[in-house]
Amino acid sequence: MSNGTILLLNGPNLDLLGIREPEVYGTATLHDHVARARATAGKAGYDLEHLQSNSESALVDAIRDARGRCAAIVINAGALTHYAWSLHDALAAYDGVVVELHISNPYSREPWRNTSVVTPVAKGSICGFGGLGYEMAVDAVARLLSDG
């Protein structure tokens, strides 16, 4: 029996993981990361839905559609993290737990990556742990939900 659904969102260019800048993002593919997140969710009694989109509007629509349906959202918004106020607004209107996720540590990279429009509307952020971050984010969500 499931405790609910966790929505995992991945933004632009994350479908290129495994081939895009492996020195920064590693060699694991997005499929690999999603499989690890799904396994972690399953162990905690949750289903995991996943959407990757290069379109800001598709991500906003997914967040809006998750309202009242998904217990939590884990979001790796990619470059949209730094300027997509529509994601901020959609997440602010979402009624569940939000965890921000980044494979690399944006705060140790270019200065423009130091700003996040997601952070103010997230319960917390996980960054810099590579693919392990996907498991950590789902585990954090499950613990937050179980603690009420």
Domain boundaries, given as residue ranges, for the chain = 5-146
Average the pLDDT over 31-45 and give the result: 97
Say which CATH topology domain 5-146 has.
Answer: Rossmann fold (3.40.50)
What residues does 102 pair with on adjacent strands?
Answer: 127
* C-alpha atoms less than 13 angstroms from C-alpha of 41 in its C-beta half-sphere: 27
Q: What is the 3-state secondary structure (H, E, C) of the chain?
A: CCCCEEEEEECCCHHHCCCCCHHHHCCCCHHHHHHHHHHHHHHCCCEEEEEECCCHHHHHHHHHHHCCCCCEEEEECHHHHHCCHHHHHHHHCCCCEEEEEECCCHHHCCHHHHCCCCHHHCCEEEECCCCHHHHHHHHHHHHHHHCC
Average the pLDDT over 19-27 and give the result: 76
Catalytic residues: 25, 102
Higher pLDDT, 137 or 112: 137
Lowest mean pLDDT among 4-13, 26-35, 104-113: 104-113
Q: Is the pLDDT of residue 2 over 60?
A: no
